[in-house]
Amino acid sequence: MKKSLLLLLALVFFVQSKAQLTTNYPATNGIITVGTYVDLGTNGTTITTANYDDALSSSIPIGFTFNYNGNAFTDFIFSTNGFIKLGTTTPSTSALYYPGPQGTAPPTGGLFNSTNTADVNMIAAFCMDLIGATGVEYRYYTSGSVGSRVCTIQWKNITEKASTVLTQYSNFSFQIKLYEGSNMIDVVYGTATSSTNASAFKSAIVGIKGASNASTEIVSVTKGSVTAWNGGSFAAGNYTGNSFNFGNSVGASRPLPTPGTTYTFVPVYANDLAVLTIYTLGKLPKQYVTPQYIRARVKNSGTAIQTNFKVYLQVRGVNSFDDSVTIASLASNTDITVSFAGYTSYIDGIDTIKVFVNPDNNNLNNLQKNIQLVNDVIYAYADPTIPAAGGVGFTGGTGQFCAKFPYSGITNSVNQIGVNFFGGGIPLQVGIWGKNATNGGPGTLLWSSAQFTSVTGLNTVPVNPPVSVSDTFFVGVIQPTTNNSNFAYQPEIPVRDKTFFYGPLNTTTWTDFSTASSNFRFMIEPRFQSPNDVGAISIDYPCQIVPLGQGSLYPFVTIYNYGLLSQTNVPVTCQIYLNNTAVYTSTTSATTLASGASTQVNFPTLFAPTQAGIYTIKSWTNLTGDASAGNDTASSTLQIVDYSGITDAGIRVQFDGVDDHISVPNTLAFTPGSMFTLEGWFNPTAIGSSRVLVSKDSSATALSYNLTLSPAGNIVFTVSTSAGVVSATSSSVLSAGNWYHVAATYDAANINVYINGALVGTAAQTGFLTSNNGPLYLARTGGAAPQYFNGGMDEFRFWTIAKSAADIRAGMHTRVTPFSDPNLVCYFRFDEGTGTYYTADESGNCNNGTLVNMDINNTSTSPVWYLSTIPLGAPAIDTLLVTGSGAVTFPNTNLSVNFTNYVGGATYYVHMFNKVPTGTQPTTTPGGITAVHPRTWIIYQYGTPTFTSADATFNLIANTLLPTAVNSDVKLFNRANGAGSGWALTQNAATALNISPAQATFTFGNAGQFNQQFVIGGNNNPLPIKLISFIARASENNSLLQWQTSSEENTEHFVIERSDDGVNFEQIGKQKAFGNHSDFNNYSFVDKGVGANHSKVFYRLRMIDFDGRTNFSNVQSVRFGRDVVSVTTQPNPFHDKLMISIYSREGGSTLVTLSDLQGKVVYSTSVITSIGQNDLSIQPTNLASGMYVLRVSNKEGFFTQKIVKE
């Protein structure tokens, strides 16, 4: 068939002239189809280039004469960067791609922009900076009979060259085809293999160029990165908005090309009528659209005037109808809308609607067809057989969209709306508008839904009470936040007028999509009531994100009776999938369900996941005789997160102070009556305006409580009860750039404010809390003009009891065991990291938070996720009231203090971590610190005593002091209690030193020197060796220990020690050191078979010098069976490229981050690993030389290592 078509075209009269490319190859003639990609195999001839990077071939014969833009060509020049130049002269360079991987509007540089006279007569299939992948090959092949030959030029197994944006396709193939006689051009795409890197958009150049870079000499193909490849569009001229944007689908909705996707550039002919598109409904509710009027857009794409021609309509399927319209005259390059006679569909089922014209010089564009589902109750414009091509929404702003639906016949009510989203996780609403009596456009908002979180694909939203309609109405999506709604669409070119609209939030002024040249038809379906119609509307439990180990996961869903009749014993099924495999199935039934009523259905089978990952939950009804199967199923995603391997502060969040915030849906637990506690760690970036930390207020007057930061830095806690509104203000202030633990309590008698455990504000208040139905907000207030918080936040907790001062002080640095306390109703650790809109409630109550307007992927100048440096974990704790002079002992925290001339009283809390401090390490100049003792003390003094001296003795780990050690070898450093950086040398030498047991005593001269973190560093003692990293990980039943040192001086050997409890260690191995070596040194040791009879073990290194001096490393733990990611890196230090080998036992999504020593995530990527060994190469750009922390985490656990960038 193709051959005969080409023979026919070879006989027609062509009108190409040396005029303009857009005249010879009009953009409106462009055609996008999806066919079959046929690899050339061994056919044809290999194209030889000097290399696979920025290379050009010599002149290559086409095999026939190809007429292009008024010129005849018999040869072409091939570029490895995805384009060809017709003729025998080379272009100015092969590097005619954009200078950056993301071409913004309008992009600079590149093939279209070049003004060089050599850069003309070009065809770009996928022009960007490309290199060869494994098996790369370039080939051309001329096939067919004389007069209808085809020259195929093929790029096989190519990939993008490494750049500032990670590689998206690890392998890609595509072709250009030149057709003899017809002079058409095809660009055909083969299979693209996604890389494992996180999705990001990149820009290529696709299109054709004539004699210059003038807009009349370019026909471009443009596509948004989230748009399907068959949803691209042809345009005359260079790019002005999107370029040809693309990306992979790892963690985002950027589709790969469907193999066989073809862009055809069709030249102009004398006689060429084109049917551009059909305007009809994809789903027709037959009794409400009677008669149905179908329209079509027809264009004269040829150069000759067309007169007295017919346009035909044919409907076939369960209904039949034929009509034709005669057009008296249509000038060249003009188009008209053709309206056919109305007809009525009587039978439910599938109809195929065709609009066509008679054969002419170009039969490729003579026919268009749509599929229509005739039914009783559902409207839709989208063709039900075509998937979404992309999503539309407002980025960086709010707004709304709507579509017009014609209505005739008997009055009925819309009782549900089906709406598709190209990507989910966004807080949205849907609405119904009436008709504006003046202009026929959208009028008054008749109804809007409550805010819901979208899921990818079809979402069904009940309209309750149903909205009665008897005339044209409008249905659409309301986007109340700046997160792009991703409202799904199909391309419609050109889009019909007076049908699709957009505008600002709550607008009465709408813009017609047709006037904005936005060729989208929305994928939204209003539905009417019918007698029998029941569907699942939501997955209520489990919620979107759940910590691993949370018990009692019995799913429950809400089903809704949309129909007019009551129903009994409706079967309902729930299935949960992991990696497309069902891991849970349960079925039950709803006994009685009245019309317009909903009920919650609880499934009797326990869901007990054993591994972290992304699960899909589906639940559906099975009502016999259901009139609308499209709304039967509800689905959602469930993220099971495993935090068990995070024993320190993990990750935290940062708010930009502009619009970033976290929203937690309202629940009765957030209005707990007469007592509650809010607490968390906060770090204001700036002071000077009111900033809110936590609020429960839906407007300025509808207040329950809020916790704010005043312009002066005071903490203000306001509580509204039945007795009135009262505030307590802290007497002390917060300063910018410092971490503080803030707690606020209410106990029906007083409201109290604590900063770092000290009571700094109080006010009398009684009564029950005033309730409001708004969400709980973190980092914003409610209302129309909210205030926001600019700063960091970590470890937020909401208790339904009034915590005592003692409880607050003891728990500030201790992470709560998940699900352990019924009074803890919301607990955010913020350890999710990039790529998720949700933060998990570790209390087990499903009060998850949604991140709103926040850069969850850390790609902007206002990233969300930082490594947290707050001292958090499981410290040992002591508390003691001191009222006089003498010695006191803190037995759990290895500290004793001897006070002299002590007057007054104070309560002391000591928190001790058995590890070196988080964040930066202490240093001194000159000489430096060669080792830091692996214990950190945090001392709080609550009270105002005085004393003349206090000798504090810190008990050190055994064998960390040499017999020859002197006081000046040991130094004391301090910093603020919540700080992760900024150590100060507070005492340059110990007051006293004891070798065995190892103890260092330092003298404090006044009480103001407490309330600090303390750590001890060694100068000449401990060892003159710098331990860069020490890691231990499971490898099957073995433990693999790896460590790296630098600046070894006189080091003899390492003793490897193991412990079952992390306290008592025994030697299991010994390894000789390099001795005297200034470079980086790498060591490893395998503890074989230890996992066979241990679930968890601990390791440390004892580092011994030739003169007997000893020092210890941090303690590392290894778990077997779960919680560990097996990772190796090389080289370390690295210059440009770091190779990371990840051994995965289960496969799945893995997050890789690099952070600076202040915790800021400077590089992040998400990869999909397969079972076994996975090799990843990262090339973080613009990274200054220095030390960074590599973190690799997935459902198997996590891995951290210090990495040095040269």
Neighbouring residues of 646: CB distance < 8 A, sequence distance ≥ 6: 829, 831, 1198
Chain segment 1156-1174, per-residue pLDDT in tens: 766 677 787 777 777 777 7
Identify the pLDDT of residue 114. Answer: 95
Chain segment 8-19, per-residue pLDDT in tens: 223 333 444 445
Q: Under a CB-based contact definition with an 8 Å cutoff, are residues 831 and 545 in contact?
A: no
pLDDT of 839 over the 70 cut: yes
Identify the pLDDT of residue 1023. Answer: 40
Identify the pLDDT of residue 1025. Answer: 52
Task: Give the Cα separation of 1053 and 1055 in Å (integer).
Answer: 7
Bridge partner residues of 137 (DSSP) = 156
Q: Based on the domain organization, do 1013 and 1094 belong to the same domain?
A: no
Domain count, the chain: 7
Task: Give the Cα separation of 913 and 874 in Å (integer).
Answer: 7
Q: Tell whether 863 is covered by a domain.
A: no
For residue 23, what pLDDT band results from cuts at 50, 70 and 90? confident
Chain segment 166-187, per-residue pLDDT in tens: 889 999 999 999 999 999 999 9
**Lowest-pLDDT choice from 300-304, 685-689, 1076-1080:** 1076-1080
User: Which of 528, 561, 591 is where one domain is finished?
Assistant: 528
Q: Tell whether 433 is covered by a domain.
A: yes
Identify the pLDDT of residue 755. Answer: 97
Identify the pLDDT of residue 887. Answer: 96
What does the pLDDT average to over 676-698? 92
Q: Under a CB-based contact definition with an 8 Å cutoff, are residues 593 and 497 in contact?
A: no
User: Which of 1000, 1018, 1036 is where one domain is finished?
Assistant: 1018
Q: What is the CATH number of the domain that holds 568?
A: 2.60.40.10
Share above pLDDT 70 across residues of the chain, in percent, rounded to a whole number = 91
Q: Residue 430: CA atoms inside 13 Å, Cβ hemisphere, count?
A: 27
User: Which of 984, 1018, 1052 is where one domain is finished?
Assistant: 1018
Secondary structure letter of residue 91 according to DSSP: P
Q: Under a CB-based contact definition with an 8 Å cutoff, are residues 196 and 1174 in contact?
A: yes
Task: Give the Cα separation of 968 and 1017 in Å (integer).
Answer: 11
Q: Under a CB-based contact definition with an 8 Å cutoff, are residues 183 and 16 in contact?
A: yes
Identify the pLDDT of residue 1128. Answer: 75
Bridge partner residues of 1080 (DSSP) = none
Identify the pLDDT of residue 700. Answer: 56
Q: Based on the domain organization, do 52 and 166 belong to the same domain?
A: yes
Identify the pLDDT of residue 930. Answer: 56
Q: In what order do the strands lie in the sheet with 931-943?
A: 876-882, 906-913, 931-943, 1012-1018, 970-975, 984-987
Neighbouring residues of 860: CB distance < 8 A, sequence distance ≥ 6: none
Identify the pLDDT of residue 1157. Answer: 64
**Lowest-pLDDT choice from 186-200, 650-664, 846-860, 985-999:** 846-860
Task: Give the Cα separation of 345 and 289 in Å (integer).
Answer: 9
Q: How many CB atoms lie within 10 A of CB 50?
A: 11
Chain segment 548-579, per-residue pLDDT in tens: 877 678 999 999 998 888 999 999 999 999 88
Q: Based on the domain organization, do 1052 and 1168 belong to the same domain?
A: yes
pLDDT of 542 over the 80 cut: yes
Q: Tell whether 13 is covered by a domain.
A: no
Of residues 222 and 1194, more confidence is placed in: 222
Neighbouring residues of 590: CB distance < 8 A, sequence distance ≥ 6: 559, 567, 569, 570, 572, 599, 601
Cα-atom radius of gyration of the chain, to the nearest Å?
35
CA 376 to each of CA 281, 284, 468, 526, 530: distance values in angstroms, whole numbers, following the listed order: 13, 8, 16, 12, 8
Task: Give the Cα separation of 756 and 911 in Å (integer).
Answer: 13
Bridge partner residues of 31 (DSSP) = 264
3-state SS of the chain: helix, strand, coil percent to 5? 5, 50, 45
Identify the pLDDT of residue 1022. Answer: 43
Identify the pLDDT of residue 1050. Answer: 66
What does the pLDDT average to over 300-320? 96
Q: What is the CATH number of the domain that holds 672?
A: 2.60.120.200
Bridge partner residues of 1152 (DSSP) = 1165, 1192
pLDDT of 1113 over the 60 cut: yes
Q: Can you give the residue range of the structural domain that contains 1127?
A: 1028-1205
Identify the pLDDT of residue 1158. Answer: 61
**Comparing C-alpha atoms, which of 757, 750, 771, 830 is closest to residue 795?**
830
What does the pLDDT average to over 1120-1148? 72
Task: Give the Cα separation of 1116 and 781 in Å (integer).
Answer: 43
Task: Give the Cα separation of 716 and 703 in Å (integer).
Answer: 14
pLDDT of 924 over the 60 cut: no
pLDDT, mean over the chain: 88
DSSP notation for 666-716? --GGGS-SS-EEEEEEEEES--SS-EEEEEEESSSSSEEEEEEE-TTSEEE
- pTM over 0.75, yes/no: no
Q: Tell whether 669 is covered by a domain.
A: yes
Q: For residue 139, what are its two tokens?
A: 């080939």
Q: How many CB atoms lie within 10 A of CB 1095?
A: 11
Indicate the SS3 state at residue 18: coil
Chain segment 37-91, per-residue pLDDT in tens: 999 999 999 999 999 999 999 999 999 999 999 999 999 999 999 999 999 999 9
Q: Based on the domain organization, do 842 and 903 belong to the same domain?
A: no
For residue 925, what pLDDT band results from cuts at 50, 70 and 90? very low
pLDDT of 910 over the 70 cut: yes
Q: Based on the domain organization, do 186 and 218 belong to the same domain?
A: yes
Indicate the SS3 state at residue 887: strand
Sign of the torsion angle spanned by Cα atoms 1200, 1202, 1205, 1206:
negative
**Comparing C-alpha atoms, which of 354, 341, 271, 277 is closest to residue 307?**
271
How many residues comprise the chain?
1206
Q: Based on the domain organization, do 937 and 1033 belong to the same domain?
A: no
What does the pLDDT average to over 960-970? 80
Q: Based on the domain organization, do 625 and 735 belong to the same domain?
A: no
Identify the pLDDT of residue 860. Answer: 61
Q: Under a CB-based contact definition with an 8 Å cutoff, are residues 411 and 446 in contact?
A: no
pLDDT of 651 over the 90 cut: no
- C-alpha 329 chain-centroid distance: 53
Q: Based on the domain organization, do 558 and 519 belong to the same domain?
A: no
Q: Tell whether 951 is covered by a domain.
A: yes
Indicate the burial class of 42 (C-beta count within 10 angstroms; 0-12, 13-18, 19 or more): exposed
Identify the pLDDT of residue 165. Answer: 84
Q: Based on the domain organization, do 665 and 768 belong to the same domain?
A: yes
Task: Give the Cα separation of 1031 and 1128 in Å (integer).
Answer: 10
pLDDT of 911 over the 90 cut: yes
Q: Based on the domain organization, do 346 and 394 belong to the same domain?
A: no
pLDDT of 6 over the 50 cut: no
Identify the pLDDT of residue 636. Answer: 86
**Lowest-pLDDT choice from 463-467, 519-523, 645-649, 689-693:** 645-649
Task: Give the Cα separation of 558 and 573 in Å (integer).
Answer: 12
Identify the pLDDT of residue 226. Answer: 81
CA angle, 467 then 471 then 476, to 5°: 55
**Lowest-pLDDT choice from 442-451, 905-914, 924-933, 1008-1017:** 924-933
pLDDT of 1180 over the 60 cut: yes
Q: What is the CATH number of the domain that holds 1200?
A: 2.60.40.1930
Identity of residue 196: T
What does the pLDDT average to over 748-773? 95
